[in-house]
């Protein structure tokens, strides 16, 4: 039981990662995460729009029909978009303008419109706070991994600081982003499958010893 609870708690990091396993929000990562700063902007916007919307929309009554609740979820996310865009424009004006389209589509991402109904809103609120945060962390993990690799290869920098000579300028392309996310997704699923198999083996050995 304890192993199952731990597995559930960390689902959003690897086994059900919204980028590498679920494929819910892959487009912004594939296209826009070409540097660490761009990844940071996307992660901050994803947190402020999606996470805060998930916490807020929990209070929308279930008696309202699903099709209308989804509309309300979008309206709440759009409301959070305004202060998010203003804040990011102050902190990272140039970068924010270059990825603004991908910040805007965060308003209708599947984590908010689908995962809420199938997972988050089926568990107690206090547990949901942590669970949703883990999913956001999973998004951040994928975005930063992609941004790190692409910036280092394409520009030889990290957060604009020179680290080495640019090895592969083509790493900034969307095609490379697609291939990279695919490889990371395969590694994520392989790792998740290994841990699941290892967990089942441990349970089997425990039962056998008893």
pLDDT on residue 198: 42
Q: In whole angstroms, what is the distance from residue 127 CA to residue 33 CA?
A: 30
pLDDT on residue 8: 57
Q: In whole angstroms, what is the distance from residue 190 CA to residue 5 CA?
A: 21
Give the pLDDT band (50/70/90) at residue 6. Answer: low
In a domain, 177, yes or no: yes
- 132 close to 140: Cβ distance less than 8 angstroms: no
Give the pLDDT band (50/70/90) at residue 197. Answer: very low
Give the pLDDT band (50/70/90) at residue 70. Answer: very high
In a domain, 182, yes or no: yes
Q: What is the mean pLDDT of residues 43-56?
A: 96
In a domain, 98, yes or no: yes
In a domain, 208, yes or no: no
In a domain, 32, yes or no: yes
Number of separate domains in the chain: 1
In a domain, 144, yes or no: yes
From residue 169, give the alpha-carbon distance in Å to each of 35, 71, 166: 12, 42, 6
pLDDT on residue 145: 96
Q: In whole angstroms, what is the distance from residue 170 CA to residue 159 CA?
A: 18
Q: Write out the residue range of the structural domain in which residue 74 sits.
A: 2-202
Residue 143 scores a pLDDT above 90:
yes
In a domain, 166, yes or no: yes
**45 CB-contact burial (10 Å; exposed 0-12 / middle 13-18 / buried 19+):** buried
**129 CB-contact burial (10 Å; exposed 0-12 / middle 13-18 / buried 19+):** middle
Q: How much is the pTM? A: 0.86
In a domain, 209, yes or no: no
Q: In whole angstroms, what is the distance from residue 157 CA to residue 209 CA?
A: 53
């Amino acid at each position: 039981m304890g192993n199952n609870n731990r597995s559930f708690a960390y689902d959003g990091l690897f086994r059900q990662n919204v980028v590498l396993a679920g494929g819910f929000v892959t487009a912004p990562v594939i296209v826009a995460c070409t540097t660490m700063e761009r990844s940071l902007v996307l992660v901050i916007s994803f947190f402020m729009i999606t996470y805060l919307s998930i916490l807020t929309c929990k209070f929308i009554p279930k008696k309202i029909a699903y099709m209308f609740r989804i509309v309300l979820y979008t309206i709440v996310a759009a409301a959070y978009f305004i202060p998010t865009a203003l804040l990011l424009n102050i902190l990272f004006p140039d970068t924010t303008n270059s990825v603004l389209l991908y910040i805007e589509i965060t308003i209708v991402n599947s984590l908010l419109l689908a995962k809420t109904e199938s997972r988050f809103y089926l568990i107690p609120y206090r547990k949901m706070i942590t669970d949703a945060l883990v999913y956001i962390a999973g998004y951040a993990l994928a975005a930063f991994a992609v941004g790190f690799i692409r910036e280092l290869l394409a520009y030889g920098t990290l957060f604009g600081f020179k680290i080495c000579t640019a090895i592969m300028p083509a790493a900034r392309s969307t095609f490379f982003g697609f291939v990279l996310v695919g490889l990371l997704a395969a590694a994520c699923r392989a790792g998740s499958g290994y841990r699941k198999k290892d967990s089942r083996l441990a349970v089997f050995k425990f039962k056998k010893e008893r």
